[in-house]
Amino acid sequence: MKKNKLTMVLSQLSGGVILLFSLALAVSSCKESIDDGNFAIKTEQTVSDYLADAPEKFSDIKAIFDRVRLGRSDEASTLTSVLSARGNYTLFAPNNEAVSKYIKGLGISSIDELTYDQAELIAKSCIIDNGELSAYEEATFPSPSGSFAEPNLNDRILSCTQDTTADGKMYYVINGGSKVLKTNNEVSNGMIHEVDSVIAPSSDNLYEMIASADNMQIFAHLLEQTTWADSLAVPYIDMDYENEEREAVFYPAFGTQAGLPYDVPMHRYTGFTAFVEPDNVFASEWGITLNKDAEGNVTNWAEVMAKFKQKCEAVYGTDAADDLSNPDNAINRFVAYHLLDGRMAYDRFVGHYNEYLYDFGADRARPQSINYPTNVWDYFTTLGKYRGLIKITQVSDRSLDPNTNALDHPIYINRKSIYKNGRQEDYQELRAEVPGILVSALNGNNDNNSMNGFYFPIDKVLLYDDATRSQLASERIRIEATTMLPEMLTNNMRLNCMGSFPRGYFKNIPNMSAGTIMTYLSCTHDRLSGGNGWRDYQGDEFLFLGLFDFTLRLPPFPKDGTYELRMGLSNNPNRGMAQIYFGDDPNRLTPTGLPVDMRQSAGTVAIPWVADIDGDDITNAENDKNMRNQGYMKAPKYICWTNRQPTNTIRTSPGAIRMIVTTADMKANKTYYLRFKSALKKMNGEFFIDYFEYVPTSVYNGTTAEDIW
């Protein structure tokens, strides 16, 4: 099997030709060239036909497609040939005026003067191969601010935002600078949308992109001084992984998914996400402003840094006070809390799929983004020696908070909400006790989509101070498993594939035995049941098969204290059984108790699950207490089955439960691990990983009973 070295290859599937390589379904063919005979040509008008039939608009981009090949070999097909074949392609076609404007910016006057690399950037940046899914029509554009799930042919995620003209007419902007002039030109193998500018994503790294923003000079300077700029400039692709031979598709030999294809990632990208205060936020909140000379050079950096030292040391202490590159330094720690390991577009912070009251719509592969009836949140780990926890919440359109524009579905950092959380209620947000920090999708006219990450402006100074830690440590922290694995985020696999992963792919799984088979299942791409009837948080799960033995690094606890560590289960007869170990030394973990048997049904002495009695909250609470005494809890009411019944909560399912793994005193500055080792000598037992919960004493044993949500 020849591996794919960042070139596009084609594979036959379902009688047609579709492009399978992407960040999400990254697979390769056994060769990088295609015989023209492999193409099944449609008789109806194709993308290439449409362009050829409108030379007054698209002759330039058509000529570029004639020149650029899918791969770098001489035998590779041209993009014109590819776009003449069966498939589902979304093309954001720059008109001739757009191409002319772009090449003039390069200092040339004709497309014939483009280097091959320049032509390839233009050509591949505007095409999305949608594979088995339909091409994007206007109705399926992510809105009002988001990104397309599938990358373009250069492996870059394209953003999409709505804007309005002076007279109030709405239009779309692709990747921050290309206005869509005409949408929904449908052809037999895709959809064509005319744009007024060439789409050419920047090759800058994340630091370079922040530094190029005219309103973020202060944070860019902090990145330089703390050397975090160097950390954000690391190669975006793991060449060691790239140079290994591997099969593109894995077929399990056993388990419920036996014989089904799981895509093996052909690439391992590294990426980051940054939350950045514009200069005016530092001015308004901390009184820090920049003085500049006639040439625009900053003249008061010493004064600025002295103020930052004062502000940051008040929160992070005075260790290594004169060494900004030291991870103990206060300013270094301030910057680190702004950086996440994992490249995420604005609409990928949280996963909408089967939260209470939400209906994902007719197309499960593309959950609708118009109606969000319930808040959704996720937790992420920040970079640095002192890892921190960040909570990101997208507010629902039903929020009653008077200071939130709920219809915009805004995203906030470290928001604390008060909900209608009674047993008979619906988890509507009543108000924000702590509003949090507003995250903006865009930064004015500045690009925020770099080669290895995104940055997003925020409207307040972001600190991991005692108030923030205490706030996070006062609530139940429910962590979706994919957010614990930055590679899932950077490589665009979350809710976007059915995958299988080799040993060493995930840095937060430091130990995994050769006998472990790791798979990822998403309702959006399920090939067996169509994603119906799953009991998963946010519509996805990991299954471990074989004689599995693996260790998982956990996110940090926000503050010292006693916590319950829980994990979500979905028991059935096909599951596995494992001994669980816990501790802060991955090589010296201790057992947490008896092995957990996921084959075990609820409603037994061991797991005394009893169905709720409608309207009898007292009896239901007593039954819940009895179940807790055995170390188990019902699933949250917040999570529903994945079959478009948005009030059909999995709390009613005996197999969907939570297990209290351990209760222990946790330290915020320690890193903890869980080890899962198969307790059965069988290969087909599927060990299920979906979500974890950190629950402080004040929640599980407070003056007010913990809610069922």
DSSP string computed for 119-162: HHHHHHHTEEE-TTSPPPPGGGS--SEEE-SS-BTTS-PPEEEE
Whether the per-residue pLDDT at 7 is higher than 90: the answer is no
Which residues have C-beta within 8 Å of that of residue 643, sequence separation ≥ 6? 532, 533
Residue with tokens 């004040």: 698
Question: Cα–Cα distance between 304 and 458 in angstroms, integer?
Answer: 20
Whether the per-residue pLDDT at 346 is higher than 70: the answer is yes
Topology annotation, domain 477-700: Jelly Rolls (2.60.120)
Q: Do domains 10-195 and 477-700 have the same CATH topology?
A: no
Question: Cα–Cα distance between 229 and 98 in angstroms, integer?
Answer: 34
Amino acid at 366: R
- Give 187-202 pLDDT, tens digit per residue: 999 999 999 999 999 9
| Cβ atoms 176, 442 nearer than 8 A | yes
- Give 278-327 pLDDT, tens digit per residue: 999 999 999 999 999 999 999 999 999 999 999 999 999 999 999 999 99
Give the mean model confidence (pLDDT) for residues 525-548: 92
Q: DSSP labels for 539-554?
A: GEEEEEEES-EEEEEP
Amino acid at 486: P
Phi/psi at 501 (5° precision): -130, 135
Look up the CATH superfamily of 10-195: FAS1 domain (2.30.180.10)
Whether the per-residue pLDDT at 17 is higher than 70: the answer is no
Whether the per-residue pLDDT at 534 is higher than 80: the answer is yes
Give the mean model confidence (pLDDT) for residues 575-584: 97
- What pLDDT is recorded for position 495? 93
More confident residue, 30 or 349: 349
- Give 120-169 pLDDT, tens digit per residue: 999 999 999 999 899 999 999 988 888 999 999 999 999 999 999 889 89
- Give 442-455 pLDDT, tens digit per residue: 999 899 999 999 99
Whether the per-residue pLDDT at 594 is higher than 50: the answer is yes
Look up the CATH superfamily of 203-246+259-469: FAS1 domain (2.30.180.10)
- What pLDDT is recorded for position 75? 85
- Give 90-108 pLDDT, tens digit per residue: 999 999 999 999 999 999 9
Question: Cα–Cα distance between 632 and 567 in angstroms, integer?
Answer: 10
Q: What proportion of the chain, given as a percentage, has pLDDT over 70?
A: 94
Question: Cα–Cα distance between 520 and 491 in angstroms, integer?
Answer: 13
- Give 613-650 pLDDT, tens digit per residue: 999 999 999 999 999 999 999 999 999 999 999 999 99
Which residues have C-beta within 8 Å of that of residue 113, sequence separation ≥ 6? 103
286-295, 432-441, 601-610, 628-637: lowest mean pLDDT where? 601-610
- Sorted by where each begins, the domain ranges of the chain are 10-195, 203-246+259-469, 477-700
Reported as a pLDDT band with limits 50, 70 and 90, residue 473 is very high
Which residues have C-beta within 8 Å of that of residue 609, sequence separation ≥ 6? 602, 603, 627, 632, 634, 654, 657
Whether the per-residue pLDDT at 244 is higher than 70: the answer is yes
- What pLDDT is recorded for position 276? 99
Residue 634 tokens read as: 């019902």
User: How many CB atoms lie under 10 A from the CB of residue 357?
Assistant: 17
Reported as a pLDDT band with limits 50, 70 and 90, residue 373 is very high
Whether the per-residue pLDDT at 521 is higher than 50: the answer is yes
| Cβ atoms 469, 559 nearer than 8 A | yes
| Cβ atoms 271, 452 nearer than 8 A | yes
Give the mean model confidence (pLDDT) for residues 76-98: 96
- Mean pLDDT for all residues in the chain: 92
| Cβ atoms 240, 512 nearer than 8 A | no
- What pLDDT is recorded for position 40? 43
| Euclidean distance between the first and the last CA atom of the chain, given in angstroms as a whole number | 48
